[in-house]
Amino acid sequence: MRNFSEILALAAQHHGGEELVLDKAANEHLTADLTAIADSHYFSEMTKAVFSAGFNWTVIRNKWPGFEAAFDGFDPHRVAFYSDEDMDRLLSDPGIVRNGQKIKATIDNARFIVETIKQYGSFGAFLAQWPADDQAGLLAYLGKHGARLGGATAQYFLRFSGYDGWITSKDVCAALMREGVLDKPSATSKTALKKVDAAFADLAEQSGLPRSVISRILALSIG
């Protein structure tokens, strides 16, 4: 794998110089203190990622006030105790996307978050204690204990909730394949995701930049 400065130079060739690349790669969602974020925000972003998967993100964003109202402001402690009557109410609510499987997943995820809070004090504390160089392990944990939190859904949830993580987008995987990290332009297996973790740990050590920024720079290096 090339060193970070060489990858940055590749991106700069495509996008008008290093300064512009770094500006494009900035992550406005990145949060320095994950423990300062309310559990309701994590639950909201988790739900947004679940409903956006395979769907038009713009539609979800436009309907979000309806989601906030329907799910009690995303208070996980309240949603965790939703009954069958609440499920019926949500399935007939025109203010949200009435997808039964994703509505059920949202209720299940509220219970997952509440259990996590019991163990760690807050969902942010759980994320904060997870080793930065083991995002692959965190994704596996979310996929096992959460509902409909597999693959890219969990990655986007982490990114938009403030966690400093990479996303294995098409361009990022293409860049990592170019650099010899991956043997194909995708990363879904545990082995491949561990290789991604190792590559980002190396690039983060070289550059001192957040992993989310490096992720974007890798994507920009493709063109």
Closest CA to 117 of 29, 38, 45: 38
pLDDT value at residue 21: 98
Q: What is the DSSP letter of 94?
A: T
CB-based contact 41:161 (threshold 8 Å): yes
Domain 34-161 belongs in CATH node 1.10.340.30: yes
pTM of the full structure: 0.96
**What are the domain boundaries of the chain?**
4-30+166-220, 34-161
pLDDT of residue 84: 97
What is the spatial distance between Cα 200 and Cα 115, in angstroms, rounded to a whole number?
30
| Residue segments in the chain with a per-residue pLDDT below the cut of 50 | none
DSSP secondary structure string for all residues of 69-83: HHTGGG-HHHHTT--
pLDDT of residue 101: 98
CB atoms inside a 10 Å sphere around CB 9: 15
- The pLDDT of residue 132: 93
Residue pair 51/97 in contact (Cβ under 8 Å)? The answer is: yes
pLDDT at 16: 97
Model pLDDT, residue 9: 98
Give the model's pLDDT for residue 195.
Answer: 98
Strand ranges (DSSP E) for the chain? none
- Distance, CA of 23 to CA of 180 (rounded, Å): 27
φ and ψ of 3, to 5 deg:
-75, 170
Report the pLDDT value the prediction gives residue 47, as an integer from 0 to 100. 98
